Amino acid sequence: MRARVIIIGAGPAGLTAAYELSSAGVTDVVVLEATADVGGLSRSVNYKGNRIDIGGHRFFSKSDWVMQWWLRMLPLAASADSANPDVEIAYQGMRRRLGDAPAARESDEHVMLLRRRLSRIYFAGKFFDYPLKANLDTALKLGLRRCLALGASYAWAKLFPRRPERNLEDFFINRFGRRLYLQFFKEYTEKVWGTPCERISAQWGAQRVKSLSIASALRHALRRMFRRAGAGLGAAEQTSLIERFLYPKYGPGLMWQVTAARLRERGVQIVFDAPVKHIEHAHGRIRAVRVSRPDGTEQRFEGEHFVSTMPVRDLVLGLAPPAPEREREIASGLVYRDFVTVGLLYRRLANRVPDNWIYIQEPGVKVGRLQIFNNWSPYLVRDADTVWIGLEYFCREGDELWTLPDEEMKQLALTEMSKLRLADPAEHLDGVVIRMPKAYPGYFGSYAHFEELRRYLDGFPNLFLAGRNGMHRYNNQDHSMLSAKRAVEAILGGSSDKSAIWSVNIDDEYHEEASTAP
- Report the DSSP beta bridge partners of residue 334: 445
- 238 — pLDDT class (breaks 50, 70, 90): very low
Lowest-confidence pick of 230-234, 360-364, 429-433, 471-475: 230-234
Q: What's the per-residue H, E or C state across 16-61?
A: HHHHHHHHCCCCCEEEECCCCCCCHHHCEEEECCEEEECCCCCECC
- 110 — pLDDT class (breaks 50, 70, 90): very high
Q: Please, where in the chain does CATH 3.90.660.10 lie?
A: 335-442
> What percentage of the chain carries pLDDT values higher than 90?
67
Are 83 and 467 a contacting pair, CB within 8 Å? no
pLDDT one-digit tens code per residue, 267-300:
999 999 999 999 999 999 999 999 999 999 999 9
Pairing of strands 369-372, 387-395: antiparallel
CATH match of 335-442 with 3.90.660.10: yes
Q: In this model, does residue 172 exceed pLDDT 80?
A: yes
pLDDT of residue 189: 86
CA angle, residues 492, 498, 504, in degrees to nearest 5: 100
Per-residue buried b or exposed e for 287-296, using 16+ beta carbons within 10 Å of the residue's own CB: bbbbbbeeee
Q: In this model, does residue 499 exceed pLDDT 80?
A: yes
Cα–Cα distance, 187 to 98 (Å, whole number): 39
Mean pLDDT of the chain: 87
Q: Which residue in 321, 358, 466 sits closest to 119, CA to CA?
A: 358
Cα–Cα distance, 46 to 381 (Å, whole number): 10
Instruction: Supply φ then ψ for residue 287, to 5 degrees.
Output: -110, -40
**Region of 500 on the Ramachandran plot (φ > 0 left; ψ -120 to 50 alpha; else beta):** alpha
Are 338 and 396 a contacting pair, CB within 8 Å? yes
Which alpha helices (H) appear in 37-163, and where do they start and end? Answer: 64-73, 136-142, 144-159
> What percentage of the chain carries pLDDT values higher than 70?
85
Cα–Cα distance, 218 to 131 (Å, whole number): 12
**Which pTM value belongs to this model?**
0.87
Residue 240 DSSP label: E
- 202 — pLDDT class (breaks 50, 70, 90): confident
pLDDT of residue 249: 97
- E strands of 347-447, at which residues? 357-360, 369-372, 387-395, 428-445
Which CATH architecture does the domain made up of 2-41+254-333+446-502 adopt? 3-Layer(bba) Sandwich (3.50)
Instruction: Supply φ then ψ for residue 23, to 5 degrees.
Output: -65, -25
Interhelix angle 325-332/450-458, rounded to 10 degrees, is 130
Cα–Cα distance, 283 to 288 (Å, whole number): 13
Q: Report the half-sphere exposure of 113 (CA within 13 A, side-chain side).
A: 21
Peptide bond into 441 cis (omega under 30): no
pLDDT of residue 400: 94
Q: In this model, does residue 399 exceed pLDDT 70?
A: yes
- 352 — pLDDT class (breaks 50, 70, 90): confident
pLDDT of residue 55: 83
pLDDT one-digit tens code per residue, 443-487:
889 999 999 999 999 999 999 999 999 999 988 999 999 999 999
Pairing of strands 276-282, 285-292: antiparallel
- E strands of 367-486, at which residues? 369-372, 387-395, 428-445, 463-465
Q: Please, where in the chain does CATH 3.50.50.60 lie?
A: 2-41+254-333+446-502
Are 42 and 260 a contacting pair, CB within 8 Å? no
Highest mean pLDDT among 167-181, 268-282, 496-510: 268-282
Largest CA distance in the chain: 71
